[in-house]
């Protein structure tokens, strides 16, 4: 084959600045022949990267014994499509992956009718790679063409139904060639968790498809649907999701943070999600003060009724004391407990930190007084920023009663007043 190649080689060209070392800036036929006949693997690799190398040279190197050389040929934008046709069945998976990446980028840029012969050959290469036995290769093809409307529809249909989520996911989430009927058919046929989640994440998802996603009761997909701000979700569908989500914590946050919730939906959600999420839901909705207070009151009533048994309370109190003795109780710890909705453990920890009875701490938390909760945080040696978190996300203090920091992080009232607010509850104990 080398002899045949020699007869095909013509004059040299000027190189682009490819950054390859060991080769002259301008290639000539003689340089190429020397490398092909007796060059080192490094020299052949450098030649394979050169965009000014002749097509015949690149074609010949597509059968090089070195996988690194063949991979460079697969990457090279100047490699002729005939060489790509050789590489689609290469034994080295990395060679096929690089080829999939390059051809996947090439085909969407070749509009129908433009360089017809090249497009047809490139599509055939792409279709072969899209059927590769290795999911990584198929996934690269899918990722490269996911947003294109200039690829064959049957290719998109095949990738959309691939059994591997890393392959079908990008197509299902982004491809403009999939219509609503396609998506509904795919859902009805039964798809993997990752595939359903990808559909739920599509931009501007219509209500009918949202209905189909919700009907599957697939938690990750429903969470993705709720987080998809552009997805249309009917009120009755949202009601069904809320019913389903009551005992499924993974749906609490996406539900609470769903944009443009009705006040009715917010009241239902506030009936079971963590207090920190209720606060986040209210902040996002920017509720009027009267509606916000009504919502908070409902949550306070629920929380006041949620009590652990005496044995569990004793265990949590012992754990809080252990944490205190180990020096674990600080601002960071408090933030973590608020985030994780460990309300009773946090209450017991605050009691130990402030050296107050747990019953007194419970009264303060349920008091709706921003000053009292701030005083508790001060007694527990916590920062004012943590005190504000305790007010808003843990104790659900009404907006009008919140006590904000001074200069961003300082307590806004002096120690005498803080102590006075605490003394009221201590005396009531």
Q: Which DSSP string do the residues of 366-422 spell out, in sequence order? A: TS--HHHHHHHHHHTT--HHHHHHIIIIIS---GGG--PPBTTTB-SS-HHHHHHHH
pTM: 0.75
Q: What digits encode the pLDDT tens for the residues 325-353? A: 999 999 999 999 999 989 999 999 999 99
Q: What digits encode the pLDDT tens for the residues 21-53? A: 568 788 888 888 888 888 899 999 999 999 999
At residue 18, does pLDDT exceed 50? no
Phi and psi for 300 in degrees, rounded to 5?
-60, -40
Q: Higher pLDDT residue, 147 or 294?
A: 147
Helix (H) or strand (E) holding 68, with range, is helix 67-75
Q: Where is average pLDDT lowest: 9-18, 59-68, 260-269, 391-400?
A: 9-18
- Residues contacting 271, CB < 8 A, separation 6+: 298, 302
- The share of the chain scoring above pLDDT 70, in percent, equals 93
Q: Higher pLDDT residue, 298 or 68?
A: 68
Q: What digits encode the pLDDT tens for the residues 77-107? A: 999 999 999 999 999 999 999 999 999 998 8
CA of 176: how far to CAs of 146, 148, 166, in Å?
Answer: 8, 7, 18
């Amino acid at each position: 084959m080398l002899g045949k190649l020699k007869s095909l080689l013509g004059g040299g060209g000027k190189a682009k600045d490819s950054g390859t070392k060991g080769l002259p800036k301008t290639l000539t036929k003689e340089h190429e022949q020397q490398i092909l006949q007796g060059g080192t693997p490094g020299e052949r690799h450098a030649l394979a990267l050169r965009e000014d190398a002749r097509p015949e040279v690149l074609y010949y190197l597509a059968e090089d014994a070195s996988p690194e050389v063949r991979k460079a040929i697969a990457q090279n934008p100047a490699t002729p499509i005939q060489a790509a046709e050789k590489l689609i069945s290469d034994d080295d998976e990395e060679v096929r992956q690089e080829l999939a990446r390059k051809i996947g980028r090439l085909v969407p840029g070749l509009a129908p009718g433009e360089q017809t012969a090249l497009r047809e050959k490139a599509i055939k290469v792409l279709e072969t790679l899209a059927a590769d036995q290795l999911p990584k290769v198929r996934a690269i093809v899918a990722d490269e063409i996911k947003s294109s409307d200039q690829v064959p529809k049957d290719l998109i249909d095949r990738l959309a139904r691939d059994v591997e989520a890393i392959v079908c996911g990008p197509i299902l989430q982004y491809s403009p060639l999939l219509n609503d009927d396609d998506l509904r058919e795919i859902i009805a046929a039964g798809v993997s968790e990752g595939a359903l989640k990808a559909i739920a994440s599509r931009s501007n998802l219509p209500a009918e498809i949202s209905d189909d996603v919700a009907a599957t009761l697939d938690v990750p997909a429903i969470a993705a649907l709720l987080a998809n701000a552009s997805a249309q979700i009917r009120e009755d569908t949202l009601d069904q999701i809320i019913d389903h989500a009551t005992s499924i914590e993974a749906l609490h946050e996406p539900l609470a943070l769903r944009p443009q919730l009705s006040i009715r939906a917010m009241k239902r959600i506030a009936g079971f999600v963590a207090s920190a999420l209720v606060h986040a839901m209210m902040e996002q909705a920017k509720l009027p003060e009267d509606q916000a207070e009504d919502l908070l009151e409902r949550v306070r009533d629920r929380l006041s009724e949620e009590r652990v048994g005496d044995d569990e309370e004793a265990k949590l109190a012992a754990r809080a004391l252990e944490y205190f003795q180990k020096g674990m109780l600080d601002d960071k710890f408090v933030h973590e407990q608020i985030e994780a909705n460990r309300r009773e453990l946090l209450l017991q920890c605050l009691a130990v930190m402030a050296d107050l009875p747990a019953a007194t701490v419970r009264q303060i938390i349920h008091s709706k007084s921003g000053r009292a909760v701030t005083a508790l945080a001060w007694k527990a040696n916590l920062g004012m920023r943590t005190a504000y978190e305790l007010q808003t996300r843990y104790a659900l203090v009404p907006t009008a009663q919140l006590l904000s920091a001074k200069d961003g992080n300082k307590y806004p009232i002096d120690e005498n007043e803080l102590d006075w607010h605490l003394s009221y509850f201590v005396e009531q104990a």
